[in-house]
Structure 1
Amino acid sequence: MYQSILVPVDGSTHAEKALKVAAQLASRPGKLYLINVQQPPDDIGLLVGGSGMPVSDEVIQKLVEEREEEARRVLDKARAAAALEGLEVEEVIAKGRPAEAIVAEAQALKVEAIVMGSRGMSDLKGMVIGSVSHRVGHTAHCTVITVN
């Protein structure tokens, strides 16, 4: 049983399953941290249909707000999908590359374990450049449990 577990959630069924496993592995009382990582686009101008030229602060602010709303929806959906009674649950919205943000947050929170799905919402990209769970498993300084 673990006193503190970080669970990355992205809206995928694998993440929901990982959260259910984490809830079973957590001590009562214990603490679960749900993290959603919002990765900024590589070229924000192309994202909004432009030429890659700099975009206005208003457009950037709107994109930031939309991503935070999406993160909130994902976190709310995850909370509703698992039995979390007897656990303290804290939500974290991080920005950056998912694997690096997850490992950094795990270190900052000093969690005992990370429980995560083996595949997320970006399955195809993960197969091409390496999955987030694979990277986290090789770089985290705590126990990493990957759920299929």
Structure 2
Amino acid sequence: MLQSYENILVPVDGSYEAELAFKKAVSVAKRNGENSSIHLVHVVDTRAFQNISSFDTAMVEEVSESAKKTIEGYIEEAKQDGIKNIDYSIEYGAPKLVIAKDLPAEKNIDLIMIGATGLNAVERILVGSVTEYVTRNANVDVLVVRTDLDNKPALSKEQRKGQD
């Protein structure tokens, strides 16, 4: 029996890895038929703004507006590819919890497709990985995207620079 996913959550942050997750989510939604939907989310980590002494709401608005433009581009691309059910939200809070717990419950998500991080081992210890947290704590299936649409390893930052 093949698993069919109807509600796919894709966290996007403007990174190459998130773009790969988005593109694979479009492929999965197309294979799973008209009932499949994609929910894109960008989570503004409000903890990052707590250390700024002169907290400025204009900064949050700028980050949100930039995320909205990126997401709208993804939505247009998905619609051109035949996806009818796609929406998005911009959330505020701790990305780990919003992606792993809050949105799956709120949106009846049955699959989270998330890009693998580019963090090295030291950065993961210091910062922590959203992807790692989601894979360990989500109550739904999680697919960590590490390859491109041809299932070839994703290009490193250095390799992508060489293509420009």
Band of TM-score, shorter chain: 0.7 to 0.9
Q: Deviations over 1:27-72 (max 9, x none)?
A: 2211100000111223121xxxxxxxxx4xxx63212211211221
Kept in 1, the 8 Å contact 2:10–2:41? The answer is: yes
Q: Residues 14 and 67 of structure 2 are in contact (CA less than 8 Å); yes or no, is this contact kept in structure 1?
A: no
Asked if the contact 2:75/2:87 (under 8 Å) is kept, the reply is: no
- Look up the match of 1:51: none
Q: Please name the residue that 1:107 is paired with.
A: 105
Question: Alpha-carbon deviation of 1:93?
Answer: 0.4
Alignment TM-score, normalising by the size of structure 2: 0.72
Alignment partners' CA distance in 2, 1:77 and 1:136: 25
Q: Partner residue of 2:82?
A: 85
Give the TM-score, by structure 1 length: 0.80
Q: CA deviation at 1:143?
A: 0.4
Q: Name the amino acid aligned to 1:101.
A: V
Q: Specify which of 25, 34, 37 is matched with residue 31 of structure 1.
A: 37
2:51 to 43, 50, 54: 43
Question: Deviation above 2 Å: which 4+ runs of structure 1?
Answer: 76-84, 123-130
Give 1:69's aligned residue.
65
Give aligned pairs, total: 134
With over 3 angstroms needed to count, the CA separation of the structure-2 counterparts of 1:22 and 1:143, relative to structure 1, is same
- State the distance in 2 between where 1:128 and 1:81 align: 35
* Cα gap change, 1:87 to 1:35, in 2 (>3 Å): same
1:96 partner letter: G
Partner residue, 2:6: 3
* Contact kept? 1:32, 1:87, Cα under 8 Å: no
Q: Residue 136 of structure 1 aligns with which residue?
A: 134
Distance in 1 (CA, whole Å) between partners of 2:65 and 2:138 is: 28
More strand by share: 1
Aligned to 1:97: 94
| Structure 1: runs of 5+ lacking an equivalent | 46-54
Aligned residues: CA RMSD: 2.0
- 1:9, 1:78 within 8 Å by CA — same for their partners in 2? no
